[in-house]
Amino acid sequence: MMNLAHRGASHYAPENTLAAFYKGLDLGANGLETDLRRSKDGVIILHHDDRLDRTTNGTGHPSDYTWKQLQKLDAGSWFSDGYIGERLVCLDTFLQAFGRKPIHLALELKELGLEEEVLHALEKHEVTGNITITSFQDEILQAVRRVDGTIRLGHLVQHWDEQHLERLKAIGVIQICPRADAVSEEKVRLLKQQGFEVRAWKVNSEALMEHCLHCGIDGMTINFPDKLAEALRS
């Protein structure tokens, strides 16, 4: 079972910070999920939103700032005073810290055009973990596949049909990631029959977590990995 800390253990620490990632592993996650964007000067950073406002003391788009400027922002005080001074993280730092650990890594590409740099970074850091590149956009996954014919691909979805699944098979997608409230036993069974792994996202309550476990999924991206680890032990 993939127990991926969603942007780190984001229920307990500010998302997409080193504090959140380390917290996730400390709480029993066997993998980490994060989001990738680019700064003004081309540095790949870990940030979910297309603006800085919600999770830093900055404003505007990450692509409006150089990495040097982004490093000065506070990425923790919005969450709690205990995390004042926590900083944004770049992909190189993330891979240096976690790339060689025996864990799952799910890297969601939020923009088209990141694929070559991300794959180069994985090679540069000799990442040995179980990597899945994910996206909501087919065209991003197609771009990754054109550069790398073997890396694991996952597609984040809310709705899907047979025609869509056939297109994803043609790209070589091996993992379907449905929103947790769209998961059912029948849907999971049908996806697995077609050879897909199934990993749920937006598992934002213990009730949804238990529902997904009951449906027989292969993993989930979760803000509180300790709850999932406890459920799996029991």
pLDDT digit string (tens) for 54-72?
999 999 999 999 999 999 9
pLDDT of residue 42: 98
61 catalytic residue (yes or no): no
Q: Which residues, listed in sequence order, are joined to residue 135 by a DSSP beta bridge?
A: 155
pLDDT of residue 132: 98
Does residue 129 register a pLDDT over 80?
A: no
CATH architecture, domain defined by 2-233: Alpha-Beta Barrel (3.20)
Please classify residue 9 by burial: count the beta carbons closer than 10 Å to its beta carbon, then call 0-12 exposed, 13-18 middle and 19+ buried. Answer: buried
6 catalytic residue (yes or no): yes
> Pick the catalytic residue: 48, 61, 125, 164?
48
Find the mean pLDDT for residues 144-170. Answer: 96
Does residue 17 register a pLDDT over 90?
A: yes
Q: How confident is the model at residue 128 (pLDDT cuts 50, 70, 90)?
A: confident
Q: How confident is the model at residue 10 (pLDDT cuts 50, 70, 90)?
A: very high
pLDDT digit string (tens) for 195-217?
999 999 999 999 999 999 999 99
pLDDT of residue 69: 99
Lowest mean pLDDT among 26-30, 79-83, 161-165: 161-165
Does residue 234 register a pLDDT over 80?
A: yes
Find the mean pLDDT for residues 102-128. Answer: 97
Question: Would you kindly state where each structural domain of the chain is located, as residue ranges?
Answer: 2-233
pLDDT digit string (tens) for 101-111?
999 999 999 99
Does residue 150 register a pLDDT over 90?
A: yes
Residue 129 CA to residue 126 CA, distance in Å, equals 9
Nearest to 34 by CA among 143, 97, 118, 108: 108
Determine the length of the chain. 234
Does residue 9 register a pLDDT over 90?
A: yes
Find the mean pLDDT for residues 29-58. Answer: 99
Residue 113 CA to residue 201 CA, distance in Å, equals 24
Residue 204 CA to residue 122 CA, distance in Å, equals 30
3-state secondary structure of 95: helix
Average pLDDT, the chain: 98
Does residue 175 register a pLDDT over 80?
A: yes
